[in-house]
Amino acid sequence: MGVKERRDREKENLRQEILDAASELFAKKGYAHVSMRKIAEKIEYSPTTIYLYFKDKTDLLNEICEETFGKLIETVSLIEAESKDEPLECLEKGMRAYIEFGLKYPNHYEVTLITPIMDFLGKELHPYEGSSGQKAFEYIVRQVAGSMEKGQLAKGDVAAVSQTIWAAIHGVTSLLISHQDFPFVDQKVLIDKVIRTTIKGLRVDSLIEIEN
C-alpha cells in the first residue's frame, strides 16, 4: 500500500518544482513580468497544471514570499539570540537586517510589502495573521517594549512606536527599491542616517526630558 505514499511524494516534488521555477523567474523579472505560461514552460508542464497545486497566481506568489520572508525571521531570531537583554541593540540590528533583506530580495519585498493593496483589490489579500510579516513586526514590538523597560527608549505607546519604526525602515527600503533613478546619497549613509535618526528621535535623552 506504498502507492499513495509515492504519489503524494511525487505531488509534493512537483509542487516544489513549481515553487522553485516561479521563485527564480519572479526574483529575476518581477511579479508583473512572470506569467503562468512562462512558469509552466520552465517546468515543462501545461499552464493549467499549476492550478492543480495553487489556487491562483497570487496564491503562488504568496507562498514564495512567505518562504523567502522566513529567512528574515531566521536572521532576526539569530540577532535576538546573540544579544539577549540588549533590546535596543537588537532593535537597531533588526532594522538594518530588515532593510538589507528588502534590498537583497527587492521583488519579494515589492510584492509582499510595497504593492499589496490595489492590484489585489477585492480579493482577500494574503492574511496578515500568522504570516512572516506579522512575526517580523512582532520582533520590533518585542524590542521596543524591552527598550522601554530598560529606560533606553522613552516610555509610551508601544504599538505607535513600533509602527513609527516600521514606517522609517519601510520608507527607506521601498524608496531605494522603487526609485533607482533617484540621485540618492550613498546607500549605507542613508540607511545609517534613517536608523540613527529614528532611534535618536525615540530615545530618552535625560537632558531634554528635564527641560520639558
Name which position in 49, 83, 164, 174 contacts DNA (CB under 7 A).
Answer: 49
User: Total number of residues binding a copy of itself (CB under 8 A)?
Assistant: 57
Near DNA by CB under 7 A: residue from 22, 34, 153, 169: 34
- Could you say whether residue 123 binds a copy of itself (CB under 8 A)? no
170 binds, among DNA, a copy of itself, none (CB under 5 to 8 A by kind): a copy of itself
Which among 5-13, 69-77, 94-102, 202-210 is the span making contact with DNA, rule CB under 7 A?
5-13
The DSSP code for 111 is: I
Q: Is 167 in the site for a copy of itself (CB under 8 A)?
A: yes
Q: Does 48 bind DNA (CB under 7 A)?
A: yes
Distance CA 207, CA 73 (A): 36
Instruction: Work out how close the CB of 12 gets to a copy of itself at its nearest, in angstroms, rounded to a whole number.
Output: 31
* Residue 56 within binding range of DNA, rule CB under 7 A: yes
Q: Which of 57, 54, 192, 35 is nearest to 123 (CA)?
A: 57
Q: Contact between 143 and DNA (CB under 7 A)? A: no
Residue 110 interface partner, choices DNA, a copy of itself, none, CB cut-off 5-8 Å depending on type: a copy of itself
Of 137, 128, 129, 133, nearest to 159 (Cα)?
Answer: 137
For residues 90 and 79, the answer to whether their CB atoms sit within 8 Å is: yes
Residue-wise DSSP of 129-185: TTSHHHHHHHHHHHHHHHHHHTTSB--S-HHHHHHHHHHHHHHHHHHHHH-TTS-PS
Are 194 and 172 within 8 A, CB to CB? yes
Q: Which residue has the cell 492543480?
A: 52
List the one residue from 20, 42, 57, 203 that touches DNA (CB under 7 A).
57
State the Rg of the chain over Cα: 21
The residues, ordered by sequence, that sit 6+ positions from 94 with a Cβ below 8 Å of its Cβ are: 76, 79, 80, 139, 140, 143
Binding mask 46-85 for a copy of itself (x = CB under 8 A): ----------------------------------------
Q: Least separation, in Å, of the C-beta of 117 and DNA?
A: 16
Which stretches of the chain bind a copy of itself, using CB under 8 A? 29-33, 106-107, 110, 113-119, 121, 125, 128, 157, 159-161, 163-164, 166-172, 174-175, 177-182, 184-185, 189-190, 193-194, 196-202, 205, 207-208, 210-211
